[in-house]
Amino acid sequence: MCGCQSCNHTKALNAYEFERHAGCKTKHPNNHLYFESGKTIYQIV
């Protein structure tokens, strides 16, 4: 769920949609989405 001001936890986005919504286009979003532990999604998977 996106928690930005415009979405306010009302939009469920997959990793690619979330990356585009944030204004980034690396095509590798799992390398740039972090858990509270500091590990990326890619590192966990």
For the chain, domain boundaries: 1-45
pLDDT band at 3 (very low <50, low <70, confident <90, very high): confident
Task: Give a three-class secondary structure readout of 1-35.
Answer: CECCCCCCCCECCCHHHHHHHCCCCCCCHHHCCEC
Q: Which two tokens stand for residue 25?
A: 């286009």
What is the pLDDT averaged over residues 2-17? Answer: 89
Q: Report the predicted TM-score, pTM, of the whole model to 2 decimal places.
A: 0.60
For residue range 14-32, list pLDDT tens digits in order.
888 988 888 888 888 888 8
